[in-house]
Structure 1
């Protein structure tokens, strides 16, 4: 099957880290048109007939190629070792797909990103510290804009742990010295406390 002319959308608008939403939208347009989008949403059907498994694997291979060919060379190198298009999409969404929610403590957000960076490296990709810090900065809300500017102007170099501590301190300053509370566990019931024996 020959690729559609829509692929030009992907090659002319390569993912560079700043344009994830637009890139993803363009990718979905191409994949819907070519009927390959299902590999981003479904895992390979292990129990299915060989014909179905082979179709899924063939589509996954095509989608992986489209994704890698439509990234900057740095991002392509970082993601080329992932085995499925679904895994590439998940990592990209986690790293580039959105900003931290305003009620999420920066420590919680940083720990999540550090876990993702470790997962990326476990899969054979190399993310240098500067790239990791750039991803962190792109994921922060606009409240941290002056922190980002001071970091860049000061020509500072931090490890991710040092950056997390500095961001926590900045977050405290933003909130007048009050910590943003971590979310309670989902399975805990929150209600008025009761006193027995009174």
Structure 2
């Protein structure tokens, strides 16, 4: 409700429209006070003259948009360039990749589940070619969690 612009007052509003408008104004004012109180002094000073929460949120989004872009690029690079080192635990590696994917999702990046699995498979060391071949030949459809379980089973066989 408050992430939208203030509803317009019509020329001859109905009682319902008046109540809805007054409710919106009261909620907006309360939220504005809470948000201003929780901001750092510099941001607080910049935003105290703004009339609505909507205006404040748009301003904050604009301020942090560039930082978000840099963070997303950094996380993308880490995700696409991370390779599992031969001899390390496949569980640790997949959990690291899941963490990077979680960071990317929080930053607004969208990578479909199939591509996530493919990227993890592409970054496995040379000791997993049989697993990758089996995955592709059987056209397996795995989530990252199921892939982790399968990779752990394969890892225990490879170690033997």
The TM-score range, normalised by the shorter chain, is 0.5 to 0.7
Structure number with the higher helix fraction is 2
| Corresponding residue SS for 2:127 | helix
Count of aligned residue pairs for this structure pair: 96
Q: How far apart are 1:81 and its partner, in Å?
A: 8.8
Query: Normalising by the residue count of structure 1, what TM-score does the alignment of the two structures yield?
Result: 0.45
- Residue-by-residue CA offset, 1:122-161 (whole Å, 9 max, x unaligned): 1112111111001101211011111111101101101111
Unaligned runs of 5+ in 2: 1-64
Unaligned runs of 5+ in 1: 1-79, 177-198
From 83, 95, 104, the equivalent of 1:99 is 83
Partner of 1:152: 136
- Residue-by-residue CA offset, 1:10-69 (whole Å, 9 max, x unaligned): xxxxxxxxxxxxxxxxxxxxxxxxxxxxxxxxxxxxxxxxxxxxxxxxxxxxxxxxxxxx
Contact 1:81 1:123 in 2 (8 A): no
Contact 1:95 1:116 in 2 (8 A): yes
Q: How far apart are 1:82 and its partner, in Å?
A: 6.9
CA distance in structure 1 between the aligned counterparts of 2:131 and 2:159, rounded to whole angstroms: 14
Bigger Rg, structure 1 or 2: 2
Query: Normalising by the residue count of structure 2, what TM-score does the alignment of the two structures yield?
Result: 0.55
